[in-house]
Amino acid sequence: MVNVHVYITLKEGVLDPQGHAVQNSLTALGYEEVEKVNVGKWLRLEVADGNNLDSRVENMCEQLLANPVIENYTYHVEREAKV
């Protein structure tokens, strides 16, 4: 069993209304030092370890998890060493 962490964010240049809303709220609360906010998604998948893990995770992202037209994704695999 491995944990796969997938981070999805809007591509540079795509309008991020949720990020703007959060930034405006932070400013209204007095956190004027915050100059920009981007809101993305973070998914944690528990996956049975197997062959082609990387290519299968990439396919999951392309097919379902991210919208490759407007979103970028990165992921990392968290694997415990077998002792």
Contact residues for a second copy (CB under 8 A)?
Answer: 1, 7-9, 19, 22, 25-26, 29, 31, 33-48, 50, 56, 60, 63-65
**Residues 10, 67, 75, 7: what is their CA dihedral angle, to the nearest 10 degrees?**
40
Q: Closest CB to a second copy among 7 and 67?
A: 7
The whole-angstrom separation of Cα 15 and Cα 20 is 9
Q: Closest CB to a second copy among 1 and 81?
A: 1
Q: Closest CB to a second copy among 1 and 15?
A: 1
Residue 82: name the closest of 1, 13, 23 by CA.
1
